[in-house]
Amino acid sequence: MSLKATKRKGSPYYQITGSIKGFGRVRETTETTVLAVAEKLAFEREKEIRGLLDKKQTGVKTVAHAIEQYMDNGGEDRYLKQILQQLGKLPLTSINQEVIDKAARAAYPGYQRQKGGKVYKHSKSTIKRQFYVPLAAILHYAHDLDWMPYIRIKMPKTKRPAPKWANKEWFSKFNAEAEDELKAIVAFLAGTGSRISEALNLRPADVNLNTQEAYLRTTKNGDPRMAYLPDFVIEAIKPYMDREKVFSFIDRHAVNKRLKKTAERAGIEYLSSHKVGSHTFATNLAKYRGMDAKALTATGRWKDPKSTYHYTHYLSQEQAKNADSLGELFKD
C-alpha cells in the first residue's frame, strides 16, 4: 500500500500520507486519534484514488485535465476561469512560455471598460497574481503526476509595494470604534500572523488556553500548524470559546467589510484582514523585537524564507513568544 496512517507532530490526529504515481503526493487529515480507524481510512482512500486513475489514464492530457485533478486534490479555484478559457483545450505537452504569454495577453487585454465608462488598465502584478501564479501551480502539479515535462515559467517583473501595517495609534482608534468580536479576531490575526482562513476555521477544541497554543487547520500550503497565543490574544478569544467555531464571521469578505466601516468611523486607514494580520505581526516583530527572516520562518507561518524578507524576519515556536510584546498595541 502506498498510503499509510501517520501522526504529525503537534496534532492529535492521524494523517493519510504517501504518494501514488499518476496522482502525486497525498496528505490528508483523518480527524481520528485511533490508529486502526486511520489505517482503514488510508486503505479506502488509496482504493478510491486508484479507481479514479484507472478511469482517467486514457487519452491526451490537457490543461483542463490538470485543472480538474488539481482541484480534486484540494487546489484553490480562484482565478482559474481565465486559464481554463484560454488554455483548457491545449495538450499539456504543447505549453511553453510563448503560449502562456499569448494566453495572458488574451485574458487580460491592455484596457477594459468598467461601469460608468471608466477605463481601467490591468497592472502587471494583477496579471501575475491572477494568471501566471495559479497556472504555474497547476503545471507543476501536472508534472508531479508525470503528465508533462517540468516547465519553468517566467513571470512578469513587478515591484512589490512596501507592506502596510497597523501601529499602536491605529489600534487605539480602531478599538474605540470596533465591536467586541471584530476586536477579538483582529487581535488573533495580529498576535499570531494567521491567515483569515485559519482564524475563521478555528474551533474551541483547537485551542489550549493553558499551553497558549492553537492548532490551525486550514493553511495556504495545505499543512496544519501550531501557533503560539500571546496573553492578549488569550484574553480576546476567551468569551468565544463556547460555540462551534471561535469566530462567527461567514467569510473574509464579511470581516473586511466590517474592518472598512470601522476604519471609516475611526478616521483611520482601512487595512484588510491580511494587513492587520500577517503584515502587522511580521513588521512589528521586525521593528520592535529585531527579528530577522530566519527567525520568522521557524514559526511555521511561512514556508519559504523569501516570503519573510519582505518584513525582514521569521519565527520558531519559542521565538514566537516574542509576540507577547504585541500586547502593548491593545492597551489604552
- Higher-confidence position of 165 and 268: 268
Same domain, 229 and 302: yes
Over the stretch 150-188, which tens digit does the pLDDT of each residue have?
A: 888 998 887 766 677 788 899 999 999 999 999 999 999
Residue 163 lies in a domain: no
Q: Which long-range contacts (CB under 8 A, 24 or more apart) does 88-92 make?
A: 88/62, 88/63, 88/64, 89/62, 89/63, 89/64, 90/62, 90/63, 91/60, 91/61, 91/62, 92/61, 92/62, 92/63, 92/65, 92/66, 92/139, 92/142, 92/147, 92/148
Same domain, 37 and 109: no
Residue 151 lies in a domain: no
pLDDT at 267: 95
pTM reported for the whole predicted model: 0.52
Same domain, 183 and 219: yes
pLDDT at 292: 46
Pairing of strands 207-208, 119-121: unpaired
30-38 average pLDDT score: 84
pLDDT at 60: 79
Over the stretch 208-229, which tens digit does the pLDDT of each residue have?
A: 999 898 888 765 555 667 788 9
> Among positive and negative, which fits the CA dihedral 237, 301, 299, 293?
negative
Residue 109 lies in a domain: yes
Same domain, 293 and 240: yes
Domain that includes residue 31, residue range: 4-56
Residue 139 lies in a domain: yes
**Among the three residues 41, 56, 71, which one is the final residue of a domain in this structure?**
56
Q: Where are the alpha helices (DSSP H) in the chain?
A: 35-56, 63-72, 80-87, 97-107, 124-127, 133-144, 168-177, 180-192, 196-200, 231-237, 252-266, 273-274, 280-289, 293-297, 305-308
Same domain, 238 and 298: yes
Contact present, 226 and 213 (Cβ < 8 Å): yes
Same domain, 301 and 227: yes
Q: Which long-range contacts (CB under 8 A, 24 or more apart) does 219-223 make?
A: 219/195, 220/195, 221/303, 222/27, 222/74, 223/27
Residue 137 lies in a domain: yes
Residue 162 lies in a domain: no
Residue 149 lies in a domain: no
pLDDT at 10: 75
The band of 298, judged by pLDDT with boundaries at 50, 70 and 90, is: very low
Same domain, 313 and 182: yes
Over the stretch 104-131, which tens digit does the pLDDT of each residue have?
A: 988 887 545 455 555 556 778 888 888 9
- Counting the structural domains of the chain, the total is 3
**Among the three residues 111, 144, 177, which one is the final residue of a domain in this structure?**
144
Does the pLDDT of residue 297 top 50, yes or no?
no
Same domain, 239 and 322: yes
Same domain, 281 and 137: no
- Residues of the chain with pLDDT > 70, as a percent, come to 77
Over the stretch 50-104, which tens digit does the pLDDT of each residue have?
A: 766 655 555 678 998 999 888 888 777 778 888 988 998 899 989 999 999 999 9
Residue 72 lies in a domain: yes
CATH number of the domain enclosing 297: 1.10.443.10
Same domain, 185 and 316: yes
What's the grid cell of residue 105?
495577453
Same domain, 287 and 181: yes
Say how far apart CA 278 and CA 301 lie, in whole Å.
Answer: 9
Does the pLDDT of residue 48 top 80, yes or no?
no
Same domain, 114 and 178: no
Does the pLDDT of residue 270 top 60, yes or no?
yes
Hey, which of 9-18, 56-65, 243-252 has the most confident mean pLDDT? 243-252
The band of 308, judged by pLDDT with boundaries at 50, 70 and 90, is: very low
